[in-house]
Structure 1
Amino acid sequence: MREGWEYKKLGEVCCPKNKIQRAARCFDSSDKILYIDISSIDNTMQKVTDITSVTFGDAPSRAQQKIEYGDIVVSTVRPNLKNIAIIDRYEPNIVASSGFCVLRNTECIERNYLFHYVTSDIFTQHLMKITTGANYPAVRDQDVRDSIIPLPPKSTQLAIVSELDNIKE
């Protein structure tokens, strides 16, 4: 291990799952929501490109997680497809499918460092090793949260993000 680095579970560096509000507690059936499901993600750009506007009462039963600007959604279904994105809208009514593990960074991890890690081939390969089901391969939310991330000091996280962003450009 590099000096000053730690290895932590994602669940230790992200907000606990119980801090992600249940949509049913936030919206009435007549409230308009912006619904994100797995098909909403462009997995080549790692961005949300298709949001459905619908009343909460007419939304699919999987519309269960109220998400916020900056949250990272990681598809738990077919993780090899890398349907992962950072929510880049400030809307107060975005709801994600239960097919996502929602990761909300805390002060100990930079959001973009977390995002680069969960979109990495190393992370995808790890998820593929623990995937269950042949016809509908998936991991559990807890499998994602139990995954280990190398955690350098924040200054190193920022330097890594800067370098990776330069490479992407």
Structure 2
Amino acid sequence: MQNQFPKNWRKVKLGEVVDINPRQINKDNFHKEIEYVDISAVGTATLESTTTHLLSEAPGRARRLVKNGDTIISTVRPNRRSFYYFKNPTDNLVVSTGFAVLSSKLKITDSRFIYYLVTQKSFTHYLTSNVKGSAYPAITTDVIENAEVLIPAYEEQNQIASILSSFDDKIEVNIKIAKTLEETAQVIFKEWFKKFKFPGHEKVKMIDSELGKIPEGWEIKKLSDLVSTQYGYTESASEKEIGPRFLRVMDINKSDWIDWSSVPYCKINDKDLLKYRLSAGDVVIARMADPGKVAIIEENVNAVFASYLIRLKPLNKSVGNYFLYFYLTSSQYQGFIFGSSTGTTRQSANARVITDCYLAVPKDEIIKEFETIANLLRKMIQTKVKENQKLAEMRDLLLPKLMRGELRV
């Protein structure tokens, strides 16, 4: 029976309509300093950060160049859906060889259409079904090149991409707003609790302590005396709704908030569910894979936390949940945990190490005032996160229908 394609659509191999890894770094004729994108820095449509290196000291995997409109997709563990679309990258940006770089062909493929084509879940399933290796599952460039895809005429590609990108553009704006709100809260925390410029500080005497000068009435306490600790639950994650959400390190280490819509599920019995269920106000911190990464639970969801995470709960009201969260995200604490983690190939830290530090604890009224401000800012962030979840749901509903030609534009 003849295949039924939408009018003006054709089936091709992806390698026929995109260039894959077209540009490599030339160390004899390139910038002396590079911005590097490692696999760990990329999530699902997100780029957490880049690192700067002298070209002569750059990682060996820093090889591939990208230009405006390129899509990168991780060839390592493709089930994690690590991909990103570049808009006006810097001239010295270099990405890891763990990514495949896809460049559209002029007037043949629209770059944004290609991005949506290869980031569909059906394409992820195709990649996952073709991985090689168990300890380090990865795909080869040939797998991407030989993927059979449907594409319409160039004009329709552009129209489809415009519809879908209108959702992503709004999502991007909301993310920028959320990041600004988070940065505002971090600045307030630093001003009040590191520089000691809290409201009314002019009238407070500074006294000596084992951590240096602190405001009178503040106390130096060990973190382990302020919080309880609990290791997480061991189980395999599932995309099927077979139990509660299963919060893992990879669900908290790419942004400053949790997108619960992307967190998988797990099996668990009733007894363990009571033991490991998360509650609003809980703070979790990674002990392995990415030690020191922190998240705060801000709504009551049916969720438990994985074994690479440790839950911290304040033992009394002298330490607020947001005070604890922002202390753990501060450069002071992050420097401590970086220096205290052990391991060469995979760093780790146990509960004792994570809480083996001292901090200056303010008076209750200052904590309460900060909690009020932080709560307000974080609620504004949550509003943007929930709005993005709805936008993503609408986009993902349209995506397969548009990409199969079931909805024509």
1:13/1:48 CA distance change after superposition, 3 Å: same
Deviations 1:34-60 (A, max 9, x none): 0011112132xx022211111112111
Structure with the larger RCO, 1 or 2 (CA within 8 Å, 6+ apart) = 1
Distance 2:27 2:99 in 1: 16
- Listed as ranges, the gaps of 5+ residues in structure 2 are 168-393, 397-409
Distance 2:138 2:77 in 1: 5
- Listed as ranges, the gaps of 5+ residues in structure 1 are none
Shift of 1:90: 3.2
Q: Which moved more, 1:19-28 or 1:115-124?
A: 19-28
1:21 to 17, 20, 24: 24
Match of 2:119 in 1: 119
| Aligned: 1:42 with 2:269 | no
Count of matched residue pairs? 164
| Aligned: 1:8 with 2:12 | yes
The SS at the match of 2:12 is: strand
Deviations 1:100-147 (A, max 9, x none): 111011121111111011110110011011111111111012211221
Q: Radius of gyration: which is bigger? A: 2
The SS at the match of 2:104 is: coil
Match of 1:141 in 2: 141
Match of 1:67 in 2: 66
Q: Which moved more, 1:128-137 or 1:154-163?
A: 154-163
Shift of 1:157: 1.5
1:78/1:16 CA distance change after superposition, 3 Å: closer
Shift of 1:67: 1.8
Q: CA RMSD in A?
A: 1.9
- The answer to whether the 8 A contact 2:79-2:128 is kept is yes
Q: Percent identity?
A: 29
Letter in 2 for 1:68: K
Letter in 1 for 2:127: L
Distance 2:137 2:72 in 1: 18
Letter in 1 for 2:39: I
Distance 1:7 1:27 in 2: 39
- The answer to whether the 8 A contact 1:116-1:161 is kept is yes
Letter in 1 for 2:73: V
